[in-house]
Structure 1
Amino acid sequence: MKRIPLTMVRKDLLDIPEYRLPAGFRIRLFRKGDEHNWAKIEASVDEFSNEDSALKHFNKEFGPHIDEMTKRCVFIENEKGEEIGTATAWYGDLRGDGEISGRIHWVGIVPEYQGKKLSKPLLSAAMNLLDRYHSKAYLTSQTTSFQAVNMYLNYGFEPLMTSESCYEAWTLLEDTLNRKILDENGGSI
């Protein structure tokens, strides 16, 4: 599948879907020192070529904000207490106009735990954290993450058309997911 970047928005943080974790798993907040666990998870899902580059990115993006990470980043632990998933309830200026919105950021579950009904509880936990600080949210993804995009659509996120490639991306996703996403005018339904 062609990889096309995309952005999605959720106009409010009302009625966040809730899902329970399967038995043996738990969600916990980031603790100082967890940057290595974050790097391990994100490298395992091919966001980075290796853990060292993931850790360097973490230190650049979040290093100055470690105290905020303890309130905004969650991990899923398995029955052995190993960190196997993470999501960050971050923030940013989506439109460059100075308005700060919540951001679902760096969602990942190590490959051997994917498909075990962990993604929805993880996303719900991150969105509930966002709701403490923000009234709306956005995220960025890509067409190759179509299963995650489908979940985000089910959580009330909508396409944000930022360039001509967005129409190609969402048309491709409509075909791949076999669901109507855009209306006849090219806006989200």
Structure 2
Amino acid sequence: MIDKTIPYVKFQMERNTSKKLPDRQLLVGYQFSFYTPGDERDWQAIETSVGEFDNLSEAQGYFQKNFVPYPDELEKRMTFVTDPSGKKVATCTAWWAKEGGPQFHWLAVMREAQRKGIATFLTVKVTALLEELYPDQPAMLHTQTWNYPAITIYQKLGYTFVSGTKDFEKGMSILKDIVRRED
């Protein structure tokens, strides 16, 4: 879940392709899949449930504008995890940045499926997909202080902060305070 109680600062992170990714598996009963038409409603529900959007209508507008124009790309880049009951509970996308490079995009896991290794599994899976689609290019992602639990996952898998962005030092200070508070 996004923690909007702390100040918001945006970060950029990147991962060099030279570091080997660990092998991660889903718990028994959970399934990995790629987007198929109709999954946009699941994407919207997942992203809204974690606080990325205030409501489904806002999520739908984002999806329509940014993903619908690329149906063929969605089917090979947007991923989901389904729980044992058949409900889609997590998503992440291997997209691209405006500059054309690999972009790790929109990781979200519904509250009831958190703490089961799904976020790490999807981070590994989508990072590997980016490395396949963009050989020898570092994977990029944007995140924010509100999403500090995911930052820990990204760092464990070799993503590092790109310094020099606006408010970088302020953001790092906020993250250090969070770590001290949780210790």
Q: Give the TM-score normalised by structure 1.
A: 0.86
What amino acid is aligned across from residue 4 of structure 1 in structure 2? V
Give the structure 1 partner of residue 161 of structure 2.
159
* Letter in structure 1 aligned against 2:86: G
Whether 2:13 is the aligned partner of 1:11: answer no
The residue number in structure 2 matching 1:181 is none
Give distance in 1, aligned partners of 2:179 and 2:23.
23
Separation in 2, partners of 1:119, 1:88: 12
Instruction: Give the 3 Å change call, closer, same or farther, for CA 90–164 of structure 1 in structure 2.
Output: closer
Contact 1:13 1:136 in 2 (8 A): no
Percent identical pairs in the alignment equals 28
Structure 2 partner of 1:127: 127
Partners of 1:78 and 1:146 in 2: how far apart? 24
Contact between 2:47 and 2:108, CA under 8 Å: does it hold in 1? Answer: yes
- Residue 152 of structure 1 deviates from its aligned partner by 0.6
Q: What pairs with 1:47-62 in structure 2 (closer than 5 Å)? A: 47-62=52-67
CA shift at 1:5, angstroms? 1.0
Per-residue CA shift, 1:29-64, capped at 9, x if unaligned? 111121111111111111111112101110100110
Runs of 4+ in 1 over 3 A off after TM superposition: none
When normalised by structure 2's length, the TM-score is: 0.88
Kindly indicate whether the alpha-carbon contact (under 8 Å) linking 1:13 and 1:131 is maintained by their aligned counterparts in 2.
Answer: no
Cα distance in 2 for partners of 1:72, 1:21 equals 19
Deviations 1:88-111 (A, max 9, x none): 011114xxxx4x321110110111
Give the Cα separation in 1 of the matches to 2:18 and 2:102: 9
* Cα-Cα RMSD: 1.5
CA distance in 2, matches of 1:162, 1:112: 36
| Counterpart Cα distance in 2 of 1:63 and 1:162 | 33
Letter in 2 for 1:71: K
Aligned with residue 38 of structure 1, among 28, 43, 46: 43
CA contact (8 A) 1:27 1:74 kept: yes
Structure 1 portions without partners, runs of 5+: 179-189
Deviation of 1:164 after TM superposition, in Å, equals: 4.3
Which is bigger in relative contact order (C-alpha 8 A, separation at least 6)? 2
Are residue 73 (structure 1) and residue 78 (structure 2) matched? yes
Q: How has the CA–CA distance of structure 1 residues 159 and 107 changed in structure 2, closer, same or farther, with 3 Å as cutoff? A: same
Which amino acid letter does the alignment assign opposite residue 160 of structure 1? V
1:84 corresponding residue in structure 2: 89
Conservation of the 8 A alpha-carbon contact between 1:13 and 1:127: no
- In structure 2, which of residues 24, 29, 34 is the aligned counterpart of residue 24 of structure 1? 29
State the shift of 1:174 in Å: 3.1
Question: Using a 3 Å threshold, how does the CA distance of structure 1 residues 164 and 57 change in structure 2: closer, same or farther?
Answer: closer
Moved more, 32-41 or 169-178: 169-178
Gap runs ≥5 in structure 2: 1-5
Paired residues, number: 173
